[in-house]
């Protein structure tokens, strides 16, 4: 019985089932870095960044969208691990002194604080390339599907996705003056990888094109909600509460800084509702994903 | 008529034919970064690094090993461009202040000197992810071949290849005391991507396994010869002669610093001879590749 079918047949205790998926994912992440001789310092840095405590939202999202049967459970975990490696690589780099200059991440010193900048950067490249290696080698997936998965991840993480978002965030944030521009940045920085994760889950289960589009729309709204919730938390939580530096945004334009917490919270909730409608349209099981949204988003943004 | 068949039928003027391949490659590199809206500063940084004057040895090697017919000429150029993007990404990062702290590369200011460290790092990630996107989307190549190509490139560039080499170079060079250890580092830093390029050419033309092994052996020796030639040049040439900072190696252990220029030159020539023997064994046309070796290696290392 696959993890998802446990969740669905239970109907209750969803949070603990998500904890089961997360635990298996943690094991998979560690396994997938054990590929043979690696300089010890580099391997420690990769482990430090990748195996630190994390919600693992993107791989869990991928897993829940894919609703894997027994044959595909391991594959869904591997594919989620690949997405998590790309995400972790982006965090290592975002935290560097020349970018956000952060000291804490995932309840640990940032990778450059613990291992120096050079090894931190190299560990990010190691994780990024490993992600594409994992996808290329997925044994249970037809090669044509693997190339489609790799293309989705490359587009989302590259110079028209995550990388573009970080560039705008660092060097062009002052040009953003309205909600559309801020949300375009949020899309690049966060939405693109959420959408890639969900789309990869949809591709893995071979959903038809129109349902993949609903999945993409769902994840786009989820990603936008998540980034706005993150901006809200940056203003209100402490480092010890969320495990990373807060108030790093400074005077950066966000929905919170431009329009205030109240409107940002409203926008966040609108995106969550739109995400749920799109999820229903996609035909993917709503329950487990809704539980994730409730736990990690609704509970965090709070009410007015 | 494909470029390689021009070369083979001519039998003379090989250098200019390689110049033709290089010119077509330059066009392809520029084309492959034109994928749609990208932050202008980021795009400029990627162009600055990727389109600077370069020998393009790795993609030319891939091309010459693949000996593409008319149907595969464009594909061989795309695949070469992907390898060149990975190589360029590694140069951008190696040049950073926290690594080799170099000011000049490929006759231009290094990318971080021209665009700042953050954008330099992002442009490297952009190039790296684009490389895997290009392979995933190669229209003329069966999907199973594309996944094989991606796996080869990921392994060569990741934490057991290029990334491992740079980590050892930066943080463990002082532990290297004999030729075997130095050459293991040279293998990781240079040989692994030379071998990947040649192997990808062999995979593209669908060579059988034993011939692929000969190609790998050829490229391994070529890469080792190339790295030793590079170490020799670092000691003897000026920045204006080779377009990048020299004497960056300082007291780093290399074959040159450990055993002197004479023995390093001898080792380099031994690797070139071994490379030629392996190339003959592989059945790949020797002429064009030998011309490249003569022009870019034998002419550079000189005689005693």
- pLDDT above 90 as % of chain B: 77
On chain B, the residues whose CB falls within 8 A of the CB of A124 are 125
Name the pairing type of β-strands B108-109 and A108-109. Answer: unpaired
On chain A, the residues whose CB falls within 8 A of the CB of B135 are 150
From CA A140, how far away is CA B238, in angstroms rounded?
53
pLDDT tens, B194-226?
999 999 999 999 999 999 999 999 999 999 999
What pLDDT score does B250 carry? 62
pLDDT band at A6 (very low <50, low <70, confident <90, very high): very low
From CA B135, how far away is CA B155, in angstroms rounded?
14
Number of compact structural domains in chain B: 1
pLDDT band at A133 (very low <50, low <70, confident <90, very high): very high
B41 inside 8 A of chain A by CB: yes
A272 inside 8 A of chain B by CB: no
Instruction: Check if the beta carbon of residue A279 is closer than 8 Å to that of residue A286.
Output: yes
Instruction: Decide if pLDDT at A267 tops 80.
Output: yes
Q: Specify the CATH number for the domain of residue B31.
A: 1.10.600.10
What pLDDT score does A3 carry? 44
Query: HSE-up of B190 (CA within 13 Å, CB side)?
Result: 19
Residues found in chain A = 304
Average pLDDT score over residue span A153-166: 97
Residues B133-142: b if buried by 16+ CB within 10 A, e if exposed: bbbbbbeebe
164-203 of B, contacting A, C-beta below 8 A: 164, 166-168, 170-172
Average pLDDT score over residue span B142-170: 97
Enter the ipTM. Answer: 0.93
Of B130, B82, B150, B29, whose CA–CA distance to A156 is shortest? B130
On chain A, the residues whose CB falls within 8 A of the CB of B93 are 121-122, 125
On chain A, the residues whose CB falls within 8 A of the CB of B168 are 39
Query: HSE-up of A43 (CA within 13 Å, CB side)?
Result: 13
Helix (H) / strand (E) containing B214: helix B209-236
Instruction: Decide if pLDDT at A151 tops 70.
Output: yes
Instruction: Decide if pLDDT at A191 tops 60.
Output: yes
Given B142, B155, B164, which is nearest A42 (Cβ)?
B164
Task: State how far Cα B140 lies from the chain centre.
Answer: 24
Question: Lowest-pLDDT range, A7-21, A119-133, B44-58, B253-267?
Answer: A7-21
Q: Please provide the DSSP assignment of A201-250 as one string.
A: HHHHTT--HHHHHHHHHHHHHHHHHHHHHHHHHHHH--HHHHSS--STTT
Q: B125–A157: do the CB atoms touch at under 8 Å?
A: yes
Instruction: Decide if pLDDT at A212 tops 50.
Output: yes
Residues paired with A108 in a beta bridge: A105
Q: A137–B117: do the CB atoms touch at under 8 Å?
A: no
Q: Which candidate in A40, A147, A193 is best for mutational testing of the B interface (most B CBs within 10 A)? A: A147
Shortest alpha-carbon distance between residue B106 and chain A (Å): 22
B155 inside 8 A of chain A by CB: yes
A39 inside 8 A of chain B by CB: yes
pLDDT band at B304 (very low <50, low <70, confident <90, very high): very low
On chain B, the residues whose CB falls within 8 A of the CB of A200 are none
What pLDDT score does A4 carry? 44
With 0-12 CB in 10 A as exposed, 13-18 as middle and 19+ as buried, what is B262?
Answer: exposed
276-295 of B, contacting A, C-beta below 8 A: none
pLDDT band at B239 (very low <50, low <70, confident <90, very high): low
Instruction: Decide if pLDDT at A14 tops 60.
Output: no
From CA A45, how far away is CA A188, in angstroms rounded?
27
Q: B146–A147: do the CB atoms touch at under 8 Å?
A: yes
Q: A39–B168: do the CB atoms touch at under 8 Å?
A: yes
What pLDDT score does A242 carry? 65
Q: B133–A155: do the CB atoms touch at under 8 Å?
A: yes
Question: Lowest-pLDDT range, A230-244, B156-170, B254-268, B279-293?
Answer: A230-244
Task: Supply the angle between the helices A209-236 and A57-66 in degrees, to the nearest 10.
Answer: 160
On chain B, the residues whose CB falls within 8 A of the CB of A128 are 125, 128-129
Average pLDDT score over residue span B167-196: 92
Q: Which domain holds residue B30?
A: 3-301
Given B119, B143, B144, which is nearest A171 (Cβ)?
B119
Q: B38–A142: do the CB atoms touch at under 8 Å?
A: no
**Which chain A residue's Cα is nearest to B185?**
A39
pLDDT band at B243 (very low <50, low <70, confident <90, very high): confident
Q: Which candidate in A160, A169, A176 is best for mutational testing of the B interface (most B CBs within 10 A)? A: A160
Structure token digits, residue A146: 């693997």
Shortest alpha-carbon distance between residue A39 and chain B (Å): 6
Shortest alpha-carbon distance between residue B162 and chain A (Å): 9
What pLDDT score does A301 carry? 77
Instruction: Check if the beta carbon of residue A154 is closer than 8 Å to that of residue B132.
Output: yes
pLDDT band at A239 (very low <50, low <70, confident <90, very high): low
What pLDDT score does A287 carry? 94
Q: A151–B136: do the CB atoms touch at under 8 Å?
A: yes
Instruction: Decide if pLDDT at B1 tops 90.
Output: no
Nearest 5°: the CA angle A231, A232, A235 is 90
Q: Which residue has the higher pLDDT, A101 or B239?
A: A101
**Which chain A residue's Cα is nearest to B155?**
A133
What pLDDT score does B199 carry? 98
Q: B132–A121: do the CB atoms touch at under 8 Å?
A: no
Given A93, A129, A168, which is nearest B39 (Cβ)?
A168
pLDDT tens, B44-72?
999 999 999 999 999 999 999 999 999 99
Shortest alpha-carbon distance between residue A189 and chain B (Å): 13
What pLDDT score does B247 carry? 58
On chain B, the residues whose CB falls within 8 A of the CB of A98 are 116-118, 121
Instruction: Check if the beta carbon of residue B24 is closer than 8 Å to that of residue B75.
Output: no
Q: Mean pLDDT for chain B?
A: 91
Residue A188 DSSP class: I
- pLDDT above 70 as % of chain A: 90
Given B38, B137, B150, which is nearest A159 (Cβ)?
B38
pLDDT band at B301 (very low <50, low <70, confident <90, very high): confident
């Amino acid at each position: 019985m696959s993890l998802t079918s446990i969740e669905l047949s239970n109907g209750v205790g969803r949070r603990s089932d998500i904890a089961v998926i997360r635990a298996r994912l943690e094991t998979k992440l560690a396994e997938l870095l054990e590929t043979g001789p690696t300089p010890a310092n580099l391997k420690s840095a990769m482990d430090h960044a990748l195996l630190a405590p994390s919600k693992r939202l993107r791989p869990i999202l991928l897993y829940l969208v894919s609703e894997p049967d027994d044959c595909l459970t391991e594959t869904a975990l591997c594919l989620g691990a690949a997405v998590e490696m790309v995400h972790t690589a982006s965090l290592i780099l975002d935290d560097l002194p020349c970018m956000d200059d952060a000291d804490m991440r995932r309840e640990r010193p940032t990778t450059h604080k613990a291992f120096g900048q050079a090894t931190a950067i190299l560990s990010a490249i190691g994780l990024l390339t490993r992600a594409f290696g994992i996808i290329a080698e997925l044994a249970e997936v037809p090669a044509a599907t693997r190339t489609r998965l790799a293309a989705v991840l490359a587009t989302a993480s590259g110079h028209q996705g995550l990388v573009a978002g970080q560039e705008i965030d660092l060097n062009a944030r002052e040009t953003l003056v309205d909600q559309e521009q801020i949300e375009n940045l949020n899309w690049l920085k966060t939405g693109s990888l959420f959408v890639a994760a969900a789309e990869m889950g949809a591709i893995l289960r071979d959903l038809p094109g129109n349902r993949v589009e609903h999945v993409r729309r769902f994840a786009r709204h989820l990603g936008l909600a998540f980034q706005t919730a993150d901006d809200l938390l940056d203003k209100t939580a402490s480092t010890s509460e969320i495990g990373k530096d807060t108030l790093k945004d400074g005077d950066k334009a966000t929905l919170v800084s431009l329009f205030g917490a109240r409107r940002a919270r409203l926008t966040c909730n609108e995106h969550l509702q739109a995400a749920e409608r799109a999820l229903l349209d996609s035909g993917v099981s709503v329950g487990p994903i809704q539980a994730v949204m409730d736990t990690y988003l609704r509970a965090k943004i709070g009410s007015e």
